[in-house]
Amino acid sequence: MAVVALAVLLKPDSSGEQILSYTAPVKDMRFVLDHVVGMEDIARLPGYEEATPDIVSAILEEAGKFAADVLAPLNHPGDLEGATWTAEGVTTVAGWKDAYTQFSEAGWNSLAFDPEYGGQGMPGALAAAVQEMWHSSNMAFGLCPLLTQGAVHAIASHASDELKQTYLEKMISGQWTGTMNLTEPQAGSDLAAVRSRAEPRGDHYLITGQKIYITYGDHDMTENTIHLVLARTPDAPAGVKGISLFVCPKYLLNSDGTPGQRNDARCVSIEHKLGIHASPTCVMSFGDDGGAVGYLVGEENRGLMYMFTMMNEARLAVGIEGYALGEMAYQRATAFAKDRKQGPVLLGDKESQPGIINHPDVRRMLMTMRSQVEAARVIAYDCAAAFDFASHHSDEDVRARFDRRGALLTPIVKGWSTEIGVDVCSLGVQVHGGMGFIEETGAAQYLRDVRITPIYEGTTGIQANDLLGRKTQYDGGQGIEELLVDMRATLSALEQATDAHGKRAGKALKNAIDLVAAASQKILQQENPAVNAAVANDYLMLMGYTTGCWALARSVLATANVDDNDFVSAKLTVCRFYFDCIAPRANSHFTALENADIEHYALDIELM
């Protein structure tokens, strides 16, 4: 039976039960943070002084333990059991509430938030690494704090002091969670179509309407849940300029700030989904009994703009999910491939290492998985670091430049890292052969879970249009030009290299730079918006593979600062594989982009 060969994947947990294990890649995280992204520079920024090497190290180690010991053991059971709904509300999976309590009590929820409201004020780059661990070990769990984070930022950035005083501290501690209520059945990617209503009633509004796809819209882990809701006031203009944002708690607060009366906002069903079964995806109904009490965030009609300020962060987080699941899939596939024996192998010590990992094609799959994950990790931390500089640097011009960089990288992290995340998890299934298709193995769950990441928080198509439009065309290519300057600086450094690894990295980076320059030029010169919209995906994927190339080219240079020979040897081999076998994918996207023609899309829809 298939179960026989599962033994290798299972390790006993503290109670002796067998679990599918996760090991946080702390070494690589440290390498990227310290030597590629520049944690030292971040720790010099005003406000980030506490992010000393010792603290960073301790946080990563502890987070890794929490992910491995508390979250990973719940991942597969969570998938099997799933969240459940009754008219009373959503019940989370057994163990979930306890894990969440541990999570917030240990302070993980508050890691990167503003110290003014009880946050620990750690840099976003470090928080990105920690977040990666939550998603690798248990994405369905990690979604809950991810959504709270979005709600916190919406309130912190745009709400009145009173709302901040009332809600932030408990949301930052994790005592209460947050949700984002955007989507309606007719308003998904197009939020202009939002119909939910908000009627003013003195100091508050009464909200009515139905929202779908609300992650952790209801659950039983905390005593309150704070919904952020997009709705229209009675006289609001049509379209995106008439949408306002409201805070709408599940329980209205008593005068002492404790949860009191139930608000008129309920979860009326949860979705039956391909993956993330333990994360309840709720249909929320507001105002079935006359109206849910909501409090306006900022000014009326500016809700969509407020949402966008936190969108970058949410998109970065989802991008991290994409490759974090890829990391998990890689760990599982590697463990399997070391143990599983089928036929004579061609690599390694054939006698003592007969596992299928020494079949060249299996090794190719694993290297394809790992090299893309390691590239995506650099880009994600880079993006988070850019926002750290953008928010904390003392010089305004520097802040502006890093803000452009973060904004430019965000759709790449969200779009590319999730697309390759799906591919990587699919390869993880493939490495397992027939056992990959059996749910007990766990590989299939990663594929099912990761499949949502190119969809929510803006589909890949939305990211591609954001990258090509807002981030490239509308700033006249300034962000891209700055990126090219930095890529060329890396190339200059590599051109000094005398070793084969440096030369190879330089050659690959040179090609990447040429592609970025030529593709961006083509985009900027294109006059037909339909053609640009059609090639946006190829542009996004090209930008992903080329910034990935840059990320690993910098990694090659950074190995000079590392003593650990095994780590360096592995890193250089992974980079080399990427340059030789993965980076060329950018070229086929460039050719497709060059060949783009409106005639490709000329068929009448009746013929489609």
Task: Render 104-136 in DSSP notation, one character per residue.
Answer: HHTTGGGTTS-GGGT-----HHHHHHHHHHHHH
The active-site residue, picked from 132, 300, 327, 457, is 457
Region 211-250 residues binding its own copies, contact defined as CB under 8 A:
212-213
Q: Residue 465 and residue 538: Cα distance in Å, rounded? A: 11
How many residues sit close enough to its own copies to count as binding (CB under 8 A)?
Answer: 104
Answer for which of 195, 241, 341, 503 binds its own copies (CB under 8 A) is: 341
Closest CA to 9 of 281, 315, 368, 328: 328
Answer for which of 459, 469, 470, 517 binds its own copies (CB under 8 A) is: 459
Instruction: Give the three-state DSSP class for 573.
Output: helix
Answer for which of 170, 393, 401, 451 binds its own copies (CB under 8 A) is: 451
Question: At what angle are helices 161-173 and 124-158 packed, to 10 degrees?
Answer: 150
Nearer to its own copies, 155 or 362 (CB): 362
Answer for which of 18, 521, 561, 588 binds its own copies (CB under 8 A) is: 588
604 binds its own copies (CB under 8 A): yes
CB 95 within 8 A of CB 13: no
CB 177 within 8 A of CB 216: yes
Looking up tokens 């501290």 gives 169
Measure Cα distances from 306 to 61, 211, 322 in Å: 35, 18, 25
Q: How far is the CB of 467 from its own copies (least distance, A)?
A: 12
Q: How far is the CB of 367 from its own copies (least distance, A)?
A: 6
Region 164-183 residues binding its own copies, contact defined as CB under 8 A:
183
383 is written with which tokens? Answer: 């993006």
Instruction: Give the three-state DSSP class for 408.
Output: helix
Region 356-415 residues binding its own copies, contact defined as CB under 8 A:
357-367, 370
DSSP character at residue 333: H
203 binds its own copies (CB under 8 A): no
Q: How far is the CB of 329 from its own copies (least distance, A)?
A: 13
Answer for which of 11, 338, 488, 510 binds its own copies (CB under 8 A) is: 338
Closest CA to 419 of 478, 474, 379: 379
Answer for which of 37, 444, 487, 509 binds its own copies (CB under 8 A) is: 444
Closest CA to 551 of 434, 383, 399, 398: 383
Q: How far is the CB of 510 from its own copies (least distance, A)?
A: 15
Instruction: Give the three-state DSSP class for 341.
Output: strand
Region 518-537 residues binding its own copies, contact defined as CB under 8 A:
529-531, 533-534, 536-537
Q: How far is the CB of 79 from its own copies (least distance, A)?
A: 11
Measure Cα distances from 373 to 63, 112, 325, 578, 582 in Å: 20, 24, 9, 10, 12
Measure Cα distances from 597 to 224, 529, 532, 604, 606 in Å: 53, 12, 10, 16, 20
Measure Cα distances from 341 to 11, 294, 351, 366 in Å: 20, 60, 12, 16
Nearer to its own copies, 157 or 353 (CB): 353
Q: Residue 129 and residue 431: Cα distance in Å, rounded? A: 26
Answer for which of 58, 192, 400, 560 binds its own copies (CB under 8 A) is: 192
Answer for which of 348, 473, 478, 484 binds its own copies (CB under 8 A) is: 348
CB 248 within 8 A of CB 287: no
Looking up tokens 């704070």 gives 226
In the residue annotation, 457 being an active-site residue is answered as: yes
Looking up tokens 């390790």 gives 11
Closest CA to 370 of 588, 581, 541: 581
Region 566-585 residues binding its own copies, contact defined as CB under 8 A:
566, 569-570, 573, 576-577, 580-582, 584-585
Region 1-40 residues binding its own copies, contact defined as CB under 8 A:
1-2, 4-5
Region 422-441 residues binding its own copies, contact defined as CB under 8 A:
422, 426, 429-430, 433-434, 436-440
Region 40-59 residues binding its own copies, contact defined as CB under 8 A:
none
Q: How far is the CB of 362 from its own copies (least distance, A)?
A: 7
DSSP character at residue 445: H
Stretch that binds its own copies, among 51-59, 91-99, 184-192, 380-388 (CB under 8 A): 184-192
Q: How far is the CB of 424 from its own copies (least distance, A)?
A: 13
Nearer to its own copies, 84 or 353 (CB): 353
Stretch that binds its own copies, among 10-18, 289-297, 552-560, 565-573 (CB under 8 A): 565-573
Region 265-304 residues binding its own copies, contact defined as CB under 8 A:
269, 271-275, 283
Answer for which of 193, 253, 484, 497 binds its own copies (CB under 8 A) is: 193
470 binds its own copies (CB under 8 A): no
Nearer to its own copies, 45 or 455 (CB): 455
493 is written with which tokens? Answer: 């450094």
Residues forming the active site:
457
